[in-house]
Structure 1
Amino acid sequence: MAPRPRKTGSKDLPPNLYRKTDKRNGVTYYTYRDPVSGRMFGLGSDKDAALREAHAANAVMASRPALVERMSAPPARPARLFADWLQRYRQIIAERDLAPATMRNLGMRINVLEKRFAGRDIADIGTIDVADYLTGLAREGKAQMSRAMRSLLRDVFMEAMAAGWTATNPVEVTKAAKVKIKRERLTLEMWKAIYAEARQPWLKRAMELAVLTGQRREDIASMLFKDVRDDHLHVVQSKTGQRLRLGLSISLQSVALDLAGTIKRCRDRVVSQHLVHHSRTISKAAPGQPIMLDTLSKAFAEARDRAAGKGAITIGDNPPTFHEQRSLAARLHAAEGRDPQALLGHKSAKMTDIYRDSRGAEWIDVA
């Protein structure tokens, strides 16, 4: 069988030998294509060694046709289970110095992959297997999860190629699912109406901190009084590990709030380490204990729904959650001349632009 036409990047190679460069690390890998079966054999990144093996294989093919069928058969090797590789992959990502929250999320997704491809040899997992899995997630309405799992699978196979466990990455040619943003943005008018319906003092303080600092729900719930020093509130973001010093002079004219005043109001008759804390016994929670994340989200949703029930705001099928205050904070601070990227702790302006996008929820003034 004649070899396929040579591509520009492989014209200097002997027949049936191909190269591919990993865009992530710049390493070039070589593979040999059996001209009869079409099966690809990984030859590693050593070009000289790959050339020698390719020339030798081509010579055998030309001089001893009887060996063609034997050479085209799958090479005898111990099984390389995908689940076994995932155990090694866990060790690889453990060395990347990722944030604890990121490691937890990755760990849960790896567990899902282990169950999905249990018992499969890594070389037998093809593009159709990956595409079917990712498409299934998207059809279930989990487009965002489909994109996240595609990104993880791509990295899993890239590392496997680098370690010699497989010759190809079946994820490369798959398409990422399109994500349609459903959740509504929170406008300033909505925030004021929800704030007015907040019955718990700690919810009002949490909302004030959210709109003033632009931090995530987890970080607001973790804020401590001891983190206030040298006229700054010190925050180590749980998701990224980013370290921020937020000046107590930070303020927003649009809501008539400043950070120093909010922190002062967080102190009440109850002794607590936490800025946002229970002031009285609620169920199993004692005074002074921090607010659980689910409790924070539920209280915000209840205040939002009360405001909507009274006609103060209009919400759709996917109303804004507590997290949407992060986007509102970015837009309000930008409108008053402050840099939202530094406030939110983003490394790229592109990510900040996503938060600054009101998704059509606000009017644009044109002079």
Structure 2
Amino acid sequence: MTDAIFEAVWASASVPLRDAMDLAYLTGQRPADALKMTEHDIIDGHLIVTQEKTKQPPRIKIIGQLATLLDRIKARKAGCKVKTAALLVNLNGKRLTAPALRAQFDKARTAAAVAVPDLAEEIKQMWFYDLRAKAADDTADDLGDQAASNLLGHENVQTTRRHDLRRGKIVALTK
């Protein structure tokens, strides 16, 4: 997934879906794990993720864009009458559910394909889960394959390379 495809879908997304896309991308977590994240998972400046599939507990530093996102979520939740510890909430402040996430994503993807016809085919092929692979690719490009593996909670880098790294290494020319 390219930045342009991500941005096209994000621009067509509802506020709760934007939060979900940003959280899933920045943390590199599976959709189900992102939906389960709560304020109680924020400890000593880290977001502690308990992964359902692997049971790995990566501690993600709350800095930069993730800190900004969590502040944005907190401010939005403060204006809701319903209070929940869940990080991802709908417009009423209730926990965002997997079916709601899927419906909102499908709607945003369809709208993005119309809004950006040059990328329509690629946008239609995008799945929410692809944000995990994008997080892996972007992290690997900036910090290396091991950092991507750590973010995704894999025990070894080979798992990350096999399942989530899709772009290939950046290489230099001969001359």
Bin of the TM-score, shorter chain as denominator length: 0.7 to 0.9
Deviations 1:91-122 (A, max 9, x none): xxxxxxxxxxxxxxxxxxxxxxxxxxxxxxxx
Q: 1:307 to 1:366 in 2, by over 3 A?
A: farther
Matching residue of 1:248: 62
Q: Contact between 1:308 and 1:315, CA under 8 Å: does it hold in 2? A: yes
**Alignment counterpart, residue 275 of structure 1, candidates 79, 82, 87:** 87
Specify the code of the residue in structure 2 equivalent to 1:355: D
- Superposed, which structure 2 residues align to 1:172-211 within 5 Å? 186-198=1-13, 200-211=14-25
- For 1:315-363, what per-residue CA distance to the aligned partner results, in whole angstroms no more than 9, with x for missing partners? 269712100000000011112215100000011222201311138xxxx
- Equivalent position of 1:175 in the other structure: none
Superposition deviation, residue 301 in structure 1: 2.1
> Which residues in structure 2 correspond to 1:1-367 (within 5 Å)?
186-198=1-13, 200-249=14-63, 251=64, 258-267=65-74, 268=76, 269-270=79-80, 271-280=83-92, 288-310=93-115, 311=117, 313-315=119-121, 319-337=125-143, 339-353=147-161, 354-358=163-167, 367=173
SS of the residue aligned with 1:342?
helix
Closer/same/farther in 2, CA of residues 316 and 196 from structure 1, 3 Å limit: closer
1:366 deviates by 5.0
Residue identity opposite 1:308 in structure 2: A
Q: Deviations over 1:154-192 (max 9, x none)?
A: xxxxxxxxxxxxxxxxxxxxxxxxxxxxxxxx2221001
The number of residues matched between the two structures is 164
Q: Quick one: percent identity of the two aligned structures?
A: 29
Q: Decide whether aligned partners of structure 1 residues 298 and 334 sit closer, same or farther in structure 2, where only a CA change above 3 A counts.
A: same
Deviation string, structure 1 residues 204-260 (Cα, Å, up to 9, x no partner): 1111111110000001101101211200001100111111111002x4xxxxxx111
Between the aligned partners of 2:30 and 2:24, the Cα distance in structure 1 is: 7
Report the TM-score when normalising by structure 2: 0.85
Instruction: Please say if residues 47 and 61 of structure 2, whose CA atoms lie closer than 8 Å, have aligned partners that are also in contact.
Output: yes
Say which structure, 1 or 2, has more relative contact order (CA 8 Å, 6+ apart).
2
For residues 328 and 201 of structure 1, what CA distance do their matches in structure 2 show?
21
Per-residue deviation at 1:272? 2.3
**Root mean square deviation of aligned Cα:** 2.2
Residues 229/306 of structure 1: CA separation in 2 closer, same or farther (3 Å cut): same
Indicate conservation of the 8 Å contact 1:214/1:325, yes or no.
Answer: yes
Question: Which string of whole-angstrom CA distances, capped at 9 and with x for unpartnered residues, describes residues 14-72 of structure 1?
Answer: xxxxxxxxxxxxxxxxxxxxxxxxxxxxxxxxxxxxxxxxxxxxxxxxxxxxxxxxxxx
Q: Rg: which structure is higher?
A: 1
Asked if 2 retains the 8 angstrom alpha-carbon contact of 1:297 and 1:321, the reply is no
SS class of match (1:356): coil
CA contact (8 A) 1:195 1:303 kept: yes
Q: Where does structure 1 differ by over 3 angstroms across 4 or more consecutive aligned residues?
A: 364-367
TM-score (norm 1): 0.42
- Is contact 1:214-1:326 (8 Å) kept? yes
| Residue 366 to residue 236, structure 1, CA distance change in 2 (3 Å) | same
1:303–1:352 CA distance, 2 compared to 1 (3 A): same
Provide the C-alpha distance between the structure 2 equivalents of 1:312 and 1:194, rounded to a whole number of angstroms: 13
Q: How far apart are residue 296 of structure 1 and its match? A: 0.8
Shift of 1:298: 2.2
Q: Which letter does structure 1 place at the counterpart of 2:88?
A: V
Say if 1:300 and 1:322, in contact at 8 Å, map to a contact too: yes
